[in-house]
Structure 1
Amino acid sequence: MTSTNDESTFEDPAEALRLIEHERHHTFREVTPDPRLMYWPWGLTWLISFGLSFLRFGPEGKTFVDMPTWLPLLALTVLLTAAGIFTGVVGARASRHISGPSSRQGATYGISWSAGFTSLAIIFGRVSEHVPDEMLGLLWGGGMVALVGVLYMAGSAIWDVRDMFVLGAWISVVNVIGVLWGPGWHALVLAVAGGGGLLVAGFVGWMRRR
């Protein structure tokens, strides 16, 4: 008897599995941002801004490059804002097809970043005038980076992504080492190991995504 069913059928189960895997991979790429776009802006921000801080406010007050004292902090503020806007747009575009609990989780997580940075900025702004100038960079840099490390590890708990936990733990360890090392060295450690770690994380994530 000849079948009149118009629905497509697969005589080879392997062909069906390949099609399912192809569609699954396509959907994953559609709803998951490119890791390079999510990590590299932050990595470059740390590399440039903390690198400038080290060159201007080196260990024991040494100045390697004579530049205005306000330039490193201005660079950090501008680059953090640009990286935040850029990754926010990328994340929003990737999640535009997602609804339900996953969408709410992403929105809540993004708000947590904004709330955390805003709170620390207000607190540090209030106490900065009572902190010696040579310790200001350690206060702001160490505090903000500590928050980043914790938020990455929290993101790992939300989405069960081990790579995020590894990155958050790496950032936390690097930050503590830099703080213990002292002013000047802290900026160098964050620029090289912190910024470099974010760049590597973006590359590794991209390679796995391929």
Structure 2
Amino acid sequence: MTPIDDDAPPLDPAESLALIERERHNFGRDLSPDPRMMFWPWGIAWLVGFTLFFLRFGPDGRVLVDLPDWLPLLVLALLMVAAGITTGFAGSRVSRRISGPSTRQGAMYGVSWSVAFTAFSILFAQFSDVLPEEKAGLLWAGGMVALTGALHMAGAAIWNDRDMFVLGAWTSVVNIAGILIGPGWHALIVAVAGGGGMIAAGLIGWLRLR
């Protein structure tokens, strides 16, 4: 007589633990947004947008590529809006499956980003007119990147996410280095090391989920 599932011999302890761990991992993967969708849009936005800033507003006021003054800022702003929509959509697909404190934490964390960036924008706008153009640009870029690094580390503390903390710390170090080196170079460093760091973080997170 062919045995049915109920007649199958019980798993030994090692197999049981392996099965539990495998199912736990699969469950966690299903409830985690794709890291590529969360980091790559921002990484691409920084890589493209800040590269254009470097080409138009290079070190010592040099113009490496004769672009319209408004183009780098417009491209960066549009790419960041697109990145926000993409990551918001990716996060909402996961949040619909869960409820409780995690959902509230995610919502409050998202609002924190909006409020913080709005407050910094209003503050920096008060000083832009009294600073030389290069210094004003460095103030805006350096301040916003610093805020991004800090919020990444804060998010890591909320969710106990070591990878996010490393990304936030890396972004902060890259930003500090760029500020110390000066205007023009800051944009190139943030584009390559900052944007590249986000792209790498998305790839590493995706490989770990797999």
Q: Could you tell me the TM-score, scaled by structure 2's length? A: 0.92
CA distance in 1, matches of 2:190, 2:8: 56
Distance verdict in 2 for CA 1:131–1:9, change over 3 Å: farther
Any unmatched runs of 5+ in structure 1? 1-5
Q: Which residue of the partner structure matches residue 11 of structure 1?
A: 10
Paired residue for 2:200? 200
Match of 1:62 in 2: 62
The C-alpha deviation readout for 1:136-159, integer Å capped at 9, x for no partner, is 220111000000000011011111
Q: 1:133 to 1:8 in 2, by over 3 A?
A: farther
Q: CA deviation at 1:184?
A: 0.2
Tell me the distance in 1 between the aligned counterparts of 2:97 and 2:117: 28
Using the TM superposition, give the Cα deviation of residue 9 of structure 1 relative to its aligned residue in structure 2, in angstroms: 7.5
CA contact (8 A) 1:10 1:16 kept: no
Q: Which residue of structure 2 lines up, in the alignment, with residue 3 of structure 1? A: none
2:143 corresponds to:
143
| Aligned mates of 1:129, 1:7 — CA distance in 2 | 77
Shift in Å at residue 131 of structure 1? 1.8
Stretches of structure 2 lacking an aligned partner (at least 5 in a row): none
TM-score (norm 1): 0.92
Q: Distance in 1 between matches of 2:145 and 2:58?
A: 19
Alignment of 1:48-197 (within 5 A): 48-197=48-197
Cα distance, 1:130 vs structure 2: 1.7
Aligned pair 1:30/2:38, yes or no? Answer: no
Aligned residues with identical type, % of pairs: 61
Q: Deviations over 1:110-161 (max 9, x none)?
A: 1111111111112222322222112222011100000000001101111111
2:43 maps to a residue whose letter is G
Q: Distance in 1 between matches of 2:180 and 2:170?
A: 16
Flag as ranges the 4+ runs of structure 1 deviating above 4 A: 6-10
The one-letter code sitting in structure 2 at the alignment partner of 1:79 is L
CA positional deviation for 1:26 = 2.3
Aligned pairs, number: 205
Q: Report the alpha carbon displacement of residue 31 of structure 1 after superposing the two structures with TM.
A: 1.1
Q: Match for 1:208: what amino acid?
A: R
Take 2:51 and 2:163, find their aligned partners in 1: how far apart are those partners? 26
Mapped partners of 2:74, 2:86: distance in 1: 18
Deviation larger for 7-16 or 91-100: 7-16
Asked whether the equivalents of residues 178 and 186 of structure 1 are also in contact (C-alpha less than 8 Å), the reply is yes
